[in-house]
Chain A
Amino acid sequence: MTSTTEAITGGRLMVELLEEAGVEIVFGYPGGAILPFYDELYHSKKIKHILVRHEQGAIHMAEGYARSTGKLGVCIATSGPGATNLITGLTDAKMDSIPILAITGQVSTDAIGTDAFQEADIFGITIPITKYNALIKKADDLARHFEEAIKIAMGGRPGPVLLDFPKDVQLEKTSVRKASALKIAPHHYERPKVKGDPQEFADALNQAKRPLLYVGGGAINSFASAEIKALAEKANAPVTTTLMGLGAFPGTHTLSVGMLGMHGTAYANKAVLECDYILNLGARFDDRVAKYQDFAPNAVRAHVDIDAAEFNKRINVDHILHGDLKDAIREILPFVKGGDRTGWISRIQTLKQNHPLDYDNSGESIKPQDFLNRVYTKTKGEAIVSTDVGQHQMWAAQYYLFDKPNTWLTSGGLGTMGFGLPAAIGAKFGNPDKTVICVTGDGSFQMCIQELATIAQSKLGVKILLFNNNFLGMVRQWQELFYEERFSESQWSYNPNFVKLAEAYDIPAMRIEKKSEIDKGVEFFLKDSGSALIEVMIPAEEKVFPMIPAGKSQQDLIEFKDLGKLKK
């Protein structure tokens, strides 16, 4: 490593390297061990820093930013408690393959291992929840670590990386401002060549009478939407997406059968049972989708994925294509023939007609499904929607149709309550011109509620749609259906006045309780580009259907109309 440039401090170099990597915004919270870096950040003209209220907020904001823009999300925390507050977000990003760079301060190298003030072994703690992590012991190594970490976060199957910087390393001077060589083998970040036989792949699809494309989050990461649409249309094959894949194929397309899995549409789950060929495009046979080895029991199974470790991990497949989804589909396409699938397509239409998404909208109370439909219509389906976790998340997945990738931000793999609000904030910073809506529940909202201050401080236009059932709704649903209505610790005996609370943060807010108020509520909520909170009171008994009970498979799907059967 030779370089004749003038020596600068590690902290200065960290800022320069972020700038060079094109990072425009970072979300963070300072503290003693990261102060040298913050001192240098003070001078940066290119990087905007968003001061959050809790480090969990910082990393979910970075995730929301990354998920909605496709760029790297960056968050910063100090050592010890600052760093450990990132754990949930790192795990979340790992489960959903989101490219995140987490920068943490660490106690000085001579104090490491002595139980120093605010010391935590964040390197050791985050080994299982990062794609890569490193403790940087010399300022001379800093450039290399940065380059490697960013390449690893973004490359291949994306994921979170964490770099831990002892305070003295941030103060140490170095003239090594660019890595002369990387230690990590290129296959960890370079786009792999497609391995497998695209023609064999296409042949199996061509022979199928009832093909089904099953699209996952990998489609979003590989920006493969156009290719998937071309493939579906050429092959005349219906498309279902996972929770993570929503938006990768237009939800309004005639070939779309919506989401599959635990709370997917009945027609998607029935199509899985009836198809004779299922092509998994960047999904991972998650257990909420494919419970058993006999998933898609009548189908030849094919799988395209960038991560070789996903093949045959849970469900055995007949055909494998290893590589980036976009590249792989481009290689398959020329061999695909447009068979006559009118029989299958009309069967799908029949399924859609006979098993629609359904709920009872009689009575005076507001049904969340209805309200989401109105929001969908009013925003013309063009909003970016983030959610928390629970019933509201599933209703949003079902009733807001996503036509474009990177517009649906949800914690799919980890199911993190508290994700929604900060994710929406991050998304709004990345997409200032778009309407960004956070759909949340009265439980989830309170997990990162302090980030309302971040909205206020940045005068950000984030829309919060709060469904209040005074319950941990999804927990209540399970207790009602599977625990004989013993509502153990799922009902709130206290909830704050959410309207007043929002107003305390200068966010206009309104509560509606009756159906007759819906129009007024939607109007208020979406009237301008500023932030707003609408609290929609909904019945606690409202449930999410369809539902595949936990541990069961597609055959055991319960629809709204079967509710009586279930509670017999």
Chain B
Amino acid sequence: MKHTLSILVNNHPGVMSHVSGLFTRRGYNIDSIAVGVTDNPEVSSMTIVLNGDDFVVGQVKNQLLKLPDVLRVQDMAYASSVQRELVLVSFSISENNRSEALTICNGFDVKILEMTEDSLLIEFSGNSRQVSNIIAVLKPFGIREISRTGQIAIAYRNQNAV
């Protein structure tokens, strides 16, 4: 099962290695990792998506909390958090399928960043499933390059909200 951990850490060099090293060392698999500084320049927020049962996630949490630079670990339940990922995709188009491509882009709330005679560069954000969907839909056109940020997440203030 996929779990999303939101981790607050001290923002200084080496912390990323400490955290990712812990995963490697203990044999846990990271699906994605995204890091950015918070409003407090001394603190960064990391979102780690990992695959594992409750036992594995419990172990990961406990081991993370042992790192002196880890300030907080939160397991983000899907229902009570917003989870987003940004993707940039450049793909091929031709005269024949240009309008089909544009229709898809409109339908999916995709932002077009650049259009040339034979390619489109788009930006899309959504949850991981939506991001994977859009990639799947664009695949038949011929994908030239993809760049995904990895997932970030934040809990709803009102934990009852869905």
B62 close to A127 (CB less than 8 A): no
Residue B68 lies at the interface, judged by CB distance under 8 Å to chain A: yes
Partner of A128, one of B14, B25, B42: B25
Q: Most chain-B CB neighbours within 10 Å: which of A133, A185, A307, A309?
A: A309
What 1/0 mask marks residues of chain A from 308 to 321 whose CB sits below 8 Å from any chain B CB? Answer: 11011100000000
CA distance A307 to B13 in the complex (A): 26
A183 close to B10 (CB less than 8 A): yes
* Contact A132 B17, CB 8 Å, known A183-B10, A313-B59: no
Chain B's interface size range is 10 to 19
Q: How far is the CB of B69 from chain A (nearest CB, A)?
A: 8
B14 close to A135 (CB less than 8 A): yes
A309 close to B17 (CB less than 8 A): no
Q: Give the secondary structure class of B's interface.
A: helix
Q: How many A-B residue pairs have CB under 8 A?
A: 37
CA distance A128 to B71 in the complex (A): 19
CA distance A307 to B42 in the complex (A): 27
Q: How far is the CB of B61 from chain A (nearest CB, A)?
A: 9
Which residue on chain A has the smallest CB distance to residue B71?
Answer: A185
B68 close to A184 (CB less than 8 A): yes
Which residue on chain B has the smallest CB distance to residue A152?
Answer: B68
Which residue on chain B has the smallest CB distance to residue A307?
Answer: B66
What 1/0 mask marks residues of chain A from 425 to 453 whose CB sits below 8 Å from any chain B CB? Answer: 00000000000000000000000000000
- Considering only CB atoms and an 8 Å cut-off, how many residues of chain A contact the other chain? 21
Residue A188 lies at the interface, judged by CB distance under 8 Å to chain B: yes
CA distance A313 to B56 in the complex (A): 9
Residue B132 lies at the interface, judged by CB distance under 8 Å to chain A: no
* Contact A309 B66, CB 8 Å, known A127-B21, A128-B25: yes
- Chain A residues 154 to 195 lying within 8 A of chain B, measured CB to CB, are 183-185, 188
- A–B pairs, 30, beta carbons within 8 Å: A123-B14, A124-B14, A124-B17, A127-B14, A127-B18, A127-B21, A128-B21, A128-B22, A128-B25, A133-B14, A134-B14, A135-B13, A135-B14, A148-B68, A152-B68, A183-B10, A184-B68, A184-B69, A185-B68, A185-B71, A188-B68, A307-B66, A308-B62, A308-B65, A309-B59, A309-B62, A309-B63, A309-B65, A309-B66, A311-B62
Known interface pairs A127-B14, A134-B14; 6 further A-B residue pairs with C-beta atoms within 8 A, sorted by A's residue number:
A135-B13, A135-B14, A148-B68, A183-B42, A185-B71, A188-B68
